[in-house]
Structure formats: structure tokens, C-alpha cells
A and B are shown apart, each in its own frame.
Chain A
Amino acid sequence: AQSVTQLDSHVSVSEGTPVLLRCNYSSSYSPSLFWYVQHPNKGLQLLLKYTSAATLVKGINGFEAEFKKSETSFHLTKPSAHMSDAAEYFCVVSPYSSASKIIFGSGTRLSIRP
């Protein structure tokens, strides 16, 4: 069975400081892992994805994530937060490298303080 756990429901950081959004997964297979961002009343935008290539994945808007198999983690980071980063972030696991049914984490709301 596959599952994904986002460890923080809400993260608040000051503008210009680092961002860390935590995600742990469970999968019987080599998973594909994704991070999506959702701004209020909008659809989801892909930030980055891991599909068994390089373990450090770089995405859009300065975000990156590192796949750590030993820790079953896929944490999302950004060196310096920007006000426009305030949004909801979802960690997603797909059990295969194909578009089969995917599993969403519960989401982490990121707030940015001026």
C-alpha cells in the first residue's frame, strides 16, 4: 500500500528566510513523487517531480526536494522565501511511473511574514 504524510499542516516563515516543508512516504514499489502548489481558488501547479533519476530534484521558482530512500522522505526546500510563495503545498506519491491513481498528502499551508 502507498501513503504520504505531510508532517506540518501550517508553516510560517519570514520573507527572505529558508522554507522547509516535510513529506514522508510509504510505498511498496519505487515511487514517483511530486510536489504541487495551489494558490487560493486555483488549480494545482507542478513544482517538481522525482522519478528515480537524480535524488536532488530542482523545480520551478527556486524550490528543490531531495529524495532520501533510507528516511522515506521527500522534503521541499527553498533558500529564501518570497511573499508570492504563500499557498497550499501538496506532496503526492504515484505508485508507478505512469499516470495511475495517485495519493495526496493532507497539505501544508505556507504563510510568509513580511
Chain B
Amino acid sequence: GAVVSQHPSWVICKSGTSVKIECRSLDFQATTMFWYRQFPKQSLMLMATSNEGSKATYEQGVEKDKFLINHASLTLSTLTVTSAHPEDSSFYICSASVRDEQFFGPGTRLTVL
């Protein structure tokens, strides 16, 4: 089956710094990837849709200047949390689509001190 990886699996950073999270499709090409955010004991909330070679489409209420998304190749999308603050601490999950199914990465736990 299709495999999606994320790196890093967890990261701790100081407030005000920027953090980059990578999402890779390992054995398939993905023109579209999705970024989600999950708070403890809550469901996944779609943040943005990442399209290879074009600008990402952000969901209402998501700051595009704070959550920078780059989809430079068919196998890699990155999410950069700029000037991170403690309220950005969360579990970030990406997914990539193949036909009618989405395959999810294992997630990245971000803790901002």
C-alpha cells in the first residue's frame, strides 16, 4: 500500500522560532497533499490543501503567513510554522491521495515552550 512519512516525529522548540515539518509520499507521486492539525482528544481539522507547483489553499481561519506550505515536488510537501508560540503546540498530520483514498502520515508532535 501507499506509504506516507513525516519528519520529524516530534519536535520541541522555543517560542519565536520556526519549525519545518516534512511530508513525503514514499512509493507514489502525490499532486495533492493535505495538512491537518489535531488537538488532544479532538478530531482532525484540515488546515490546507497543498498542490504541487502552485500555492496552497488554506481553510478559513488558518493564517497562511504563519503556516507556510511548499509542495515543490510530487513526493514532498513541507509545513513551516513561523514564529511559533505555545498555542501552536499540537499534533500535525499530513495525508496524500491515491484515487479515492487518503493515506496519512504518522504525525508530528510539536511542543512550543
Identify the A interface with B (CB < 8 A).
32, 34, 36, 41-46, 49, 51, 90, 94, 96-99, 101-102, 104-107, 109
* Chain B count of residues within 8 A CB distance of the other chain: 26
In the complex, what residue of chain A is closest to B30 when comparing beta carbons?
A: A99
CA distance A36 to B36 in the complex (A): 15
Q: A44-B104, A106-B43, A109-B41 are in contact. List 9 more A-B contacts (CB 8 A).
A: A32-B100, A42-B106, A43-B93, A94-B100, A97-B100, A104-B43, A104-B44, A105-B43, A106-B42
A/B interface sample: 8 pairs, CB < 8 A: A42-B107, A44-B93, A45-B104, A94-B100, A101-B49, A106-B43, A107-B42, A107-B43
Our pick among A51, A99, A107 for the contact of B32 (Cβ within 8 Å) is A99
| Cβ of B13 under 8 Å from chain A | no
CA distance A29 to B45 in the complex (A): 22
List B contacts of A41 (CB < 8 A): 91, 107, 109
Least CB distance from B87 to A in Å reads 20
In the complex, what residue of chain B is closest to A32 when comparing beta carbons?
A: B100
Least CB distance from A40 to B in Å reads 10
List of 8 A-B pairs having minimum Cβ-Cβ separation, nearest first: A99-B97, A43-B106, A44-B104, A43-B104, A97-B100, A104-B43, A107-B43, A106-B43
List A contacts of B91 (CB < 8 A): 41
In the complex, what residue of chain A is closest to B10 when comparing beta carbons?
A: A41
Residues from 91 to 109 in B contacting A, C-beta threshold 8 Å: 91, 93, 95, 97-107, 109
Least CB distance from B113 to A in Å reads 19
CA distance A20 to B101 in the complex (A): 24
Of A42, A43, A45, A97, which is in contact with the most chain B CB atoms at under 10 Å from its CB? Answer: A43
In the complex, what residue of chain A is closest to B95 when comparing beta carbons?
A: A44
Residues from 9 to 62 in B contacting A, C-beta threshold 8 Å: 32, 34, 41-46, 49
Contact B100 A51 (CB under 8 A): yes
CA distance A3 to B34 in the complex (A): 18
